[in-house]
Chains A and B, each alone.
Chain A
Amino acid sequence: MNAAWIEVGLFFAVLLALVKPLGHYMALVYEGKPCGLNRVLGPVERGLYRLAGVRQDEEMTWKQYTVGLLLFNLLGVLVVFGLQRFQSLLPLNPQQLGDTTADLAFNTAVSFATNTNWQAYSGESTLSYLTQMLGLTVQNFLSAATGMAVLAALARGLVRRRVETIGNFWVDLVRSTLYILLPLSIVLALLLVSQGVVQTFGPAVETTLLDPTTDATGSAVATQTIPLGPAASQIAIKQLGTNGGGFFGVNSAHPLENATPLSNFLQVLAILLIPAAFCYTYGKLVGDVRQGWALLATMLLVFVPLVGLCIAAEQNGNPRLAELGVDQTASSQQSGGNMEGKEVRHGIAASALWAAVTTAASNGSVNAMHDSFTPLGGLVPMWLMQLGEVIFGGVGSGLYGLLIFALLAVFIAGLMVGRTPEYLGKKIESYEMKLAALVILIPPLVVLGGTALAVAVDAGRATVSNPGPHGFSQVLYALSSAGNNNGSAFAGLGVNNVFYNSLLGAAMLISRYWLIVPVLAIAGSLARKQTTPAGAGTLPTHTPLFIGLTAAMVLLVGALTFVPALALGPIVEHLQLIAK
């Protein structure tokens, strides 16, 4: 048990140690300064611009930036849709898998373009290697780069004065991909392969079982087919880009996707790496690193207690099984605790830490099955998503989401003292607040509205797999995940059907782009404003007071909106569990 807590402590130590160096590097990338990789990648970058007709120094208004972004994302959706619908005719399909259905293809295309990576399918039995690489791996990079670009644009909006422009989308997109995501992915992918994560174009391998078994119908089974594929390259970017879509159906619980405790540590670290480092990058970009540290502190303030709660709840085990006389105590000989749906090599702490990390960030990959978590252990990841994916959140998108909450905090503080609110010297006026309100309210609307719809109709209830309040939790979790672009699941819910593919696909689309557009509009509006110098009455936005205030906004909105729904799901289930 002590060793497990050491692993968690080490996770935070390594993560925080990497924030400044990586954050500094990323700031150089977005400022267009030499970052150290220019000698190798500079020619590639310039070549891309030349072929695509991009002029590096051409600036865009927020509307031009938005149009470029939306067009580029639309292309992504169409290509991933097409690849799935025609994969049987295309190369690199050694298992000869058929085309996917239209609703699944729509859901998956939207899912990967929006950086959600919700998966209604199992990769090994559904998608060809070509679809995985050219469709999904590509979107893992580009959807992440899209979110990163929006943050860079927002930061420019905050520091620029009296201009109409917020940067060049194509440059932000290319530089995010080329200088940040690609080099980190190459390093991580190779480290993962060294641990046993597969990377090959060979077909599945058939082996002979040592002790033959029988299947559900009683026929003998003497062989095992082991799936392979170019997994490590996809998994590296799936974690670094807070994507989360697994190469295999069970995601990072699959031993060939996450082979050892060390590969697990590297992956869980990779999930939060860029979102955490981005705080520092942001500080650099706005010319005051204290602002970045304050935002990181806000995230940690909410995150750390929830990690503790999740680990404790899972380590406590399942009282219903304790009654049966099994041994759930932790010792040097076993992890103990609630081991249903968890892997022995990871044990309880690394599984619960992952659950919190993957839902704090809008990653959504899993190394344990959240559906089988204890009610409180499962409440943590569900609520972390419902907080709007701003506690780390997606690469770029998490931080711009939190900045919207920071605007709300200065607005409320301004109301209290009767002063026009300012953030970084920019007056926050009714236009910005209206857009901020949209950003804050759209995800809850999608989540709660979608959940209400799903539990009200037969098609939504038909595929619920657990009885009682947990069945409701499964639906609420699915909508919380899609409606905040996370992608993790209470996987027992059957979601590969027309109803859920359509509903969740729509939820992902709305929550991604109806947030990006207002954020870019805010960036454009702020760029036009003059900066007012800080006076005696200005609320500083890097102090513990402001950190507490912003965290309180996140928690208040999250609690007021979702506690009633959570009471019907995990909370009542917890009471049932401890009742006997």
Chain B
Amino acid sequence: MLRSLRTASILFVLLSVLTGIAYPLLITGIAQGLFPQQAGGSLITSSGGTIGSELIGQPFDDPRYFWGRPSATGPSPYNAMAGSGSNLATTNPALADAVRERITHLRAADPTNTTAIPIDLVTTSASGLDPHISPAAALFQVRRVAQARGLDEAAVRKLVEQQIIGPTWGLFGAARVSVLRLNLALDTMKP
């Protein structure tokens, strides 16, 4: 028993050093060498500082911007330090109420648009930080954004189509548009 305890303790310390210190340090070293951009959070920087992360969504509510998905994080939407889903059940009346409110908000911002609203635009994501919307959700907003910016609708539509990321190798995941990338491109097109 005592011998077992001694062996257990020494092995525990050694394996802890190996898997808890050497291994993460090795990965960090190689990662920083090979993929510094990805390892550091895929940050987008400009002359003015850090604009955001390619992978972390931001809240948008100005009609001149494309809006991302609703976010369930608190106390403010897209709080990256407190990622969270709504965890509302499909049968929870609070979910239907929230969706109804979001529909009203989207319709009010674009009264002439009568097409059905894509589901991802009125539901919260798992992380509350989803950087993407579906191509359908981006195309849905083209007219509103074009009008708010005084841009040609076709030009905005073309911009959205350029920003569509297809499934990886045509096989993995879903087609999507990065909301932050799209809005940055919009600002470049017409500030």
Which of A's residues lie within 8 Å of B, judged by CB?
3-4, 6-7, 10, 44, 48, 51-54, 64, 67-68, 71-72, 75-76, 79, 122, 124-125, 133-135, 137-138, 140-142, 170, 173-174, 177-178, 182, 185-186, 189-190, 193-202, 204-211, 213-217, 221, 224-228, 230, 232-234, 236-237, 248-250, 253-256, 259-262, 264-265, 317-318, 320-321, 323-328, 331-347, 350-351, 366-369, 371-375, 465-470, 473, 490-492, 573, 576-577
Contact = CB atoms under 8 A, between A and B. Distances in A.
B147 interface: no
Contact of B118 (A10, A71, A138, A327): A327
18 contacts: A48-B14, A133-B20, A138-B19, A177-B18, A200-B28, A202-B40, A208-B51, A216-B74, A216-B76, A226-B43, A228-B41, A259-B38, A327-B116, A334-B120, A334-B135, A345-B173, A346-B174, A573-B91
B78 A470 contact: no
B148 interface: no
A52 B14 contact: yes
Contacts of B69: 344
Contacts of A211: 58-62, 65, 183
B3 to A, nearest CB: 8
A317 B96 CA distance: 13
Contacts of A232: 27, 31, 39
Q: Indicate the member of A53, A75, A256, A577 with the most B CB atoms within 10 Å.
A: A256
How many B residues touch the partner, as a band? 35 or more
B53 A256 contact: yes
A115 B40 CA distance: 29
A52 B77 CA distance: 52
Contact of A345 (B27, B80, B116, B174): B174
B174 A340 contact: no
A353 to B, nearest CB: 11
Query: Which 4 residue pairs are nearest across A and B when measured between Cβ atoms?
Result: A261-B173, A492-B87, A347-B174, A253-B126
A213 B14 CA distance: 49
Contacts of B65: 210-211
A75 B119 contact: no
A379 B40 CA distance: 38
Q: Indicate the member of A54, A210, A256, A340 with the most B CB atoms within 10 Å.
A: A340
A177 B136 contact: no
B88 A372 contact: yes
Given A197-B38, A254-B129, A339 B123 contact: yes
A339 B58 contact: no
B159 interface: no
Nearest to B38: A196
A342 B125 contact: yes
A325 B116 contact: yes
Contacts of B188: none
B8 interface: yes
Interface string B151-175: 0000000000000000110111111
Contacts of B172: 7, 261-262, 264-265, 350
A225 B119 contact: no
A325 B113 CA distance: 13
Interface in B66-88: 69, 74-88
Given A250-B128, A259-B38, A341-B126, 7 more contacts: A72-B8, A142-B12, A226-B41, A325-B116, A334-B135, A340-B90, A369-B85
Contact of B85 (A200, A250, A261, A333): A250
A129 to B, nearest CB: 9
A254 B85 CA distance: 10
B7 A68 contact: yes
B189 interface: no
B99 A324 contact: yes
Contacts of A200: 28, 31-32, 39-41
B34 interface: yes
A573 B89 CA distance: 10
B172 to A, nearest CB: 4
Contacts of A185: 23
A79 B61 CA distance: 47
B146 interface: no
B117 A208 contact: no
Given A256-B53, A344-B132, A333 B91 contact: no
A376 to B, nearest CB: 10
A250 B89 contact: no
B8 A492 contact: no
B133 interface: yes
Contacts of B150: none
B190 interface: no
Contacts of A79: 12, 16
Given A336-B119, A344-B174, A51 B14 contact: yes
A174 B95 CA distance: 49
A510 B51 CA distance: 49
B111 interface: no
A254 B28 contact: no
A576 to B, nearest CB: 6
A210 B60 contact: yes
B180 A210 contact: yes
Contacts of B34: 190, 193-194
Nearest to B40: A200
B91 A320 contact: yes
Contacts of B173: 7, 260-262, 264, 345-347, 350
Contacts of B167: 3, 7, 261
B137 A256 contact: no
A303 to B, nearest CB: 21
A125 B81 CA distance: 7
Contacts of B95: 318, 320-321, 340, 372
A198 B24 CA distance: 12
B132 to A, nearest CB: 4
Contacts of B108: none
A210 B51 contact: yes
Given A196-B42, A224-B52, A177 B19 contact: yes
B56 to A, nearest CB: 6
Nearest to B48: A208
B171 A142 contact: no
B8 A71 contact: yes
Given A48-B14, A193-B27, A206-B50, A254 B83 contact: yes
